[in-house]
Amino acid sequence: MSRLTEPAGVLEASPLKVAAHNARRLGSSVLITNDAGEHAMLKPADYERYLGGAFESSDLIRKDFIRDRHDFGHLAVRAVPRHLLDWKGPNVHTVVVTLRCNFKCLYCHASVVGIEQTDKDMTVETAKAVVDLIFQSPSPTLMIEFQGGEPLLNWPVVKFIVQYAKEKNKHHKRALHFGLISNFSLLDDAKIDFLIAHGVSFCTSLDGPKDLHDKNRIYLGGNSHASVLEGLRKVVAKKAAGAKTDTPNAICTVTRHSLGRAPEIVDQLVALGLERIQFGPLDPIGFAKKSWDTIGYTSAEFVEFYSNALDYIIDLNKKGVKAYEKMTLIFMVRILEGGHWRFPNADGVARLAYNHDGAVYTCEEGRLLANEGDEFFKIGQAGESSFTDLLDHPTVRASLLASHGGAQPMCFQCAYNPFCSVLPVYNQDTQGSVFGRMPDNGWCEKMMGLFDVVFTKLQDPEARKILESWLEYKSR
């Protein structure tokens, strides 16, 4: 399907009746969307009548597609959160406590160092400065995510950050959450007990069946796949025994080796009792660019994988199996409820990343780019910069402008604009500027393909009912 916006069937729109909107032909329907994040599906003939000012319905009026029936209060209520006009600062804080790793994953190994290189660990002093900076964000919710390298290799600092943040929070009174993103190879009972006791959620990477996982994620000292399963089972067992913790999450990074194997991957995760399926597409940025020839794929290939996986998960739902796909859930919330829920990619404003040495980046991808020598997304230093220094950095403003679809060629005409996320790091690394060049931008191609899949599924009543039911997972 063409990514370029098709001209409307009728070029002259009725100025009093037709409100500002974007349109995209999808199969036998025309999808229309507006800046409030509302959408409607029309038959092509009805769309032409709508453009001519001769078609309106209560649904179109309610969703502000009829210009002389605008409800500006409703428009404002929808548009304010969508543009983050009421967003209270970064809530997701990725803390890289070490660059050391005991794995040598195909898409990651260039960004980590060997386990003996302890000078790439975050010090306790730096960790304190990072936590102090995090708490300067006015966000009522703070999520501190531990990443690496393998974060458990610097366990004392993980523990310190949890303990110190909780002490600070007795006075700040935020909704404070922690997440550990780990390969689980070093996860023993003592660590699990500490993490559960302090409300830290668990997330790992599981790329699918053993042969696929082990091909992608090479464990320098053992069995990669087995160690992940062992860690997952330990946490699940603790939960089953009454421990107060969420079911652990497992993200599947999709490489070229994964294409065509969506059902097997889904089966693996479901068999472990995990309801959440989450696919992480690879992008040709940072270190992954170096191995792109062997593990990469086109945007169209990923979209096909995603479509097959979604079909399979929907079929499982029809058979009574509880499972949902995380990226689809994010899309569904944005499409059906509005606003920007989870990771709007407003780098620097919605999320921040902290390297082991205290350097602060607009996002984790920006930090990874710095490993390749491009420090464009570095916006400060814990212990030296204040939170307002970070927001005042020109890179943050440039990234926000680049993320705002209203100013982007092609985005401003795109029907998916209200629901999409832009990744300025991707644009910078692949096309030389944070603004990018959408007509030949791989991220844009992927996102449009994914939205084509989701909106096509939404036209099927049975699939729509299942996708709508996934909204119950939003609060988990």
Stretch that binds another protein, among 45-53, 149-157, 193-201, 467-475 (CB under 8 A): 149-157
- Examine residue 473 and tell whether it contacts another protein (CB under 8 A): no
Q: Which stretch binds another protein (CB under 8 A): 40-48, 218-226, 304-312, 459-467?
A: 218-226
Q: Taking a C-beta distance cutoff of 8 angstroms, is the pair 379, 395 a contact?
A: yes
Which of 114-122, 294-302, 418-426, 465-473 is the region at the interface with another protein (rule: CB under 8 A)?
Answer: 114-122
Q: Minimal distance in Å, beta carbon 84 to another protein?
A: 5
400 in contact with another protein (CB under 8 A)? yes
Residue with the two structure tokens 């407003």: 346
Spatial contact of 146 and 364, defined as CB atoms under 8 Å apart: no
* Residue 152 one-letter amino acid: L
Cβ closest to another protein, residue 59 vs residue 119: 119
Distance CA 41, CA 46 (A): 10
Q: Is 260 in the site for another protein (CB under 8 A)?
A: no
Q: Which is nearer to another protein, 261 or 457 (CB)?
A: 261
Extract the tokens encoding 319.
Answer: 């058979």
Among residues 97, 396, 414, 423, which is the contact residue for another protein, using CB under 8 A?
Answer: 396
Name which position in 9, 52, 53, 89 contacts another protein (CB under 8 A). 89
**Length of the chain, in residues:** 476
Q: Which is nearer to another protein, 93 or 457 (CB)?
A: 93
Helices and strands of the chain, counted as H and E runs = 18, 13
x-or-dash pattern for another protein, window 317-356, by CB under 8 A? Answer: -----------------------------x--x-------
Regarding 290 and contact with another protein (CB under 8 A), the answer is no
CA geometry: angle 18, 23, 26, nearest 5 deg: 135
Encoded one letter per residue, x for contact with another protein by CB under 8 A and - for no contact, window 223-242 reads: x-xxx-xx--x---------
Which of residues 125 and 193 has its CB atom nearest to another protein in the complex?
125
Residue 61 or 391: which CB sits closer to another protein? Answer: 391
SS3 track for 151-192: HHHHHHHHHHHHHHHHHHHHHHCCEEEEEEECCCCCCCHHHH
Q: Which CB sits closer to another protein, 186 or 336? A: 186
| Residues of span 159-178 touching another protein by CB under 8 A | 159-160, 163-164, 167-168, 170-172
Q: Given the complex with another protein, which of 272 and 471 has the nearer CB atom?
A: 272
Q: Is 49 in the site for another protein (CB under 8 A)?
A: no
CB of 243 to another protein, least distance (A): 20
| CA-based nearest residue to 101, from 189, 206, 210, 185 | 185
Q: Which helix (H) or strand (E) holds 133?
A: helix 124-134
Q: Is 292 in the site for another protein (CB under 8 A)?
A: no
Residues 6+ apart with CB under 8 A from 369: 285, 286, 376, 377, 425, 428, 429
Minimum gap (Å) between residue 234 Cβ and another protein: 11
Q: Is 189 exposed, middle or buried (0-12, 13-18, 19+ CB in 10 A)?
A: exposed
For residue 327, give the DSSP letter: H
DSSP 247: P
Site string for another protein, 376-395 (x = CB under 8 A): -----------xx--x----
| 369: contact with another protein by CB under 8 A | no
Long-range contacts, stretch 321-327, CB < 8 angstroms, 24+ apart: 321/270, 322/275, 323/266, 323/269, 323/270, 323/275, 323/276, 323/277, 324/275, 324/276, 324/277, 324/470, 324/473, 325/277, 325/278, 325/279, 325/470, 326/276, 326/277, 326/278, 326/279, 327/278, 327/279, 327/450
Nearer to another protein, 47 or 419 (CB): 419
Q: Judged by CB under 8 A, does residue 408 bind another protein?
A: yes
Tell me the angle at which helices 461-469 and 442-458 cross, rounded to the nearest 10 degrees.
110
- Using CB under 8 A, which residues numbered 183 to 202 contact another protein? 185-186, 188
The count of residues interacting with another protein (CB under 8 A) is 79
Among 64-72, 118-126, 281-289, 310-318, which window interacts with another protein (CB under 8 A)? 118-126
Give whichever of 164 and 341 is closer to another protein, judged by the CB atom.
164
Nearest to 101 by CA among 356, 279, 377, 365: 356
> 5: closest CA among 40, 32, 39?
32
Interface with another protein includes 262 (CB under 8 A)?
no
Q: Which residues, numbered 269-288, are part of the site for another protein (CB under 8 A)? A: 271-272
Of 42 and 400, nearer to another protein (C-beta) is 400
Nearer to another protein by C-beta: 17 or 234?
234
| Residues of this chain, 433-472, that bind another protein according to CB under 8 A | 433, 435, 437-440
Q: How many Å is the Cα radius of gyration of the chain?
A: 23
Q: Measured at the alpha carbon of residue 471, what is the angle toward residues 467 and 475, in degrees to the nearest 5?
A: 155
Looking at the Cβ atoms of 49 and 174, the one nearer to another protein is 174
Cα 10 to Cα 395: distance, rounded to the nearest angstrom: 41
Q: How far is the CB of 248 from another protein (least distance, A)?
A: 14
